[in-house]
Amino acid sequence: MNSNASSVTPEQPADANVEHSCDVLIIGSGAAGMTLALSLANYCRIILLSKSDCNEGSTRYAQGGIAAVFDERDSIESHVQDTLEAGAYLCDEDVVRFTAQNAKSAMEWLIQHGVPFDQEITGDGENRYHLTREGGHSFRRILHAADATGEALQITLNEAVSQHPNIHIFERYNAIDLVKSEQNDKRCKGVYVWNRKRQQVEVIRSRFITLATGGASKVYQYTSNPDIASGDGIAMAWRAGCRVANMEFNQFHPTCLFHPQANNFLITEALRGEGARLVHADGTPFMEKFDERKDLAPRDIVARAIDYEMKRLGADCMYLDISHKPADFIVKHFPNIYRKCRSLGIDITREAIPVVPAAHYSCGGVMTDMNARTDLDNVYAVGEVAYTGLHGANRMASNSLLECIVFARSAAEHILSRLDETPAEETIAPWDESKVIDSDEEVIIQHNWHELRLFMWDYVGIVRTNKRLERAIRRIKLLEQEISDYYSNFRVSNNLLELRNLVTVAELIVRCAMQRKESRGLHYNLDFPARAEQATPSVLTPMATNLPPQPGDLTSFEH
């Protein structure tokens, strides 16, 4: 590895051109990225890039578990059929079967690395893993670590990664763009990255590159995801010439606490299971208008109902009321929610909780095969950034972390089979900042940032119409031009890089939504309310070009 790789410090001269090299660059430090790093590190040199610190990402906030067939009464076929049904039969059945077949070995790999899944004692006095059952599953097949599986997974893998001598962790780095090879348009020779500590752009040359950057839910005004979920990998791959698919399918959680200091806090659906009611500001229940199951309707129906009432009334939120239950019952059963709301001045034993639906999970992404390969020969994509075909039109609970582990291990196996390849050595030109200046108009970024997330929520959210989609695309094109001009004239920053990626992802979402002439799964269009008899994934293809990607270039699509 280049000697600079582990010795870069903020004290280096600001104009120093820093270059690193490795065998495999992994962009993203969640479950997918860390699993891949650990699966490869005994055989090659790894750089693991993290936009924040290695503990900050969607993996950490996953409360549920990981699906795998451990119960002898369960079967892989049942897991497959449950997934196909949850995905509204838009899943790739071969991919679903591949995932289910490899689920148990993936969980055994995690167990070997020390992930503390809950256990129980059987009637025979033996220990076995405790399995829970979640929505969409026919059997108990969810391995979990209490109600914080993601955190347990993140901590365990992070500890193993930090101790491996062949894994070099670069924290607080933003990937800017993949750098294409001049000799082979289907290969990348490296990546430009922005060192947030030094406030400078650096170069990483790598034989193989993996995008493990997570989803794009930050494109919406309300999201349960951490701030870093800005679609970076999807946008980078698109600019480099990779196809994307099914971007219109974004999963929304129906009840996220509506408060400026709530920090994306989810209100569990278990409240409604214990009698909580969704109401207007005046206390009037409304779910009976939408479903005979009222407040116990499935997640997508509840999310659409709340969204409809907010739009109809012009309201900022709806309310979830459990105050009719005894106070001691509420505090005992929901202590974390009670404490969180109290810290914000809301006493849920006496008043209703303000809630809004929140963007939760991106079912689409960069198209890959079962080895996690993208359209670029040496670029892979793993986890929420990827479209594998597993989730179809809706993700089934506890299949997301599973996808990360299964496909990271598959990618590792494929990369290991190619380590003997010796591509031509190519240099990467240093980042040129000679024609840009420091911005004195940061307010433009903030304004565009808020405008984008607001109209995406209003026009391309839980319920869409043709008119709303057309309005959205017109506004996106205007923003693209402003952002492109800004990107061309000022030095990069975290907010600018994320905004540039978000506006790219926003257009991809809208373009996919405009392709789909039906309502299916997570995509609901009032102009096409019925489900089509036959449907295929929504695929977008960048127009082939030998030119390097340009800021804001989203003008050419092939369908």
Question: Can you give the pLDDT at residue 491?
Answer: 87
Question: Can you give the pLDDT at residue 557?
Answer: 45
Same domain, 26 and 161: yes
Which of 312, 344, 359 is the endpoint of a domain? Answer: 359
Question: Can you give the pLDDT at residue 355?
Answer: 95
Structure tokens at 239: 């600019």
Same domain, 262 and 295: yes
pLDDT in tens, 31-69: 999 999 999 999 999 999 999 776 666 666 655 689 999
**HEC profile of 457-526:** HHHCCCCECHHHHHHHHHHHHHHHHHHHHHHHHECCCHHHHHHHHHHHHHHHHHHHHHHCCCCECCECEC
Task: Give yes or no for a contact between 96 and 84, defined as CB atoms under 8 angstroms apart.
Answer: yes
Strands 131-132 and 142-143, by their bridges, are: antiparallel
Same domain, 467 and 518: yes
> Three-class SS of residue 226?
coil
- Residue 425 located in a structural domain: no
Which of 344, 359, 374 is the endpoint of a domain? Answer: 359
Q: 104-129: string of b/e by CB count within 10 Å (b at 16+)? A: eebbebbeeeebebbeeeeeeeeeeb
Task: Give yes or no for a contact between 424 and 183, defined as CB atoms under 8 angstroms apart.
Answer: yes
- Residue 42 located in a structural domain: yes
CATH number at residue 474: 1.20.58.100
If phi > 0 it is left, if psi is from -120 to 50 it is alpha, else beta; for residue 8 that is beta
Please give the distance of CA 69 from its chain centroid, rounded to a whole number. Answer: 25
Distance separating alpha carbons of residues 421 and 12, to the nearest angstrom? 35
Which run of H or of E encompasses 94?
helix 93-112
Q: Give the active site residue among 60, 205, 299, 500.
A: 299
- Residue 537 located in a structural domain: no
- Residue 428 located in a structural domain: no
CATH number at residue 279: 3.90.700.10
Alpha helices, DSSP H, located in 363-441: 400-416
- Residue 6 located in a structural domain: no
Place of tokens 């999970």: 361
Same domain, 228 and 277: no
Same domain, 154 and 303: no
Q: Is 239 a catalytic residue?
A: no
Same domain, 471 and 521: yes
Same domain, 327 and 307: yes
Same domain, 92 and 203: yes
Same domain, 223 and 89: yes
- Residue 558 located in a structural domain: no
Mean pLDDT estimate for the chain: 88
- Residue 46 located in a structural domain: yes
CATH number at residue 209: 3.50.50.60
Please state the domain count of the chain: 3
Question: Can you give the pLDDT at residue 553?
Answer: 41
The range of the structural domain enclosing residue 449 comes to 442-531
Same domain, 101 and 126: yes
Residues of the chain with pLDDT under 70: 1-16, 54-64, 134-135, 147-148, 270, 440, 544-559
Which of 309, 344, 359 is the endpoint of a domain? Answer: 359
Same domain, 160 and 70: yes
Task: Give yes or no for a contact between 240 and 544, defined as CB atoms under 8 angstroms apart.
Answer: no
Same domain, 137 and 73: yes
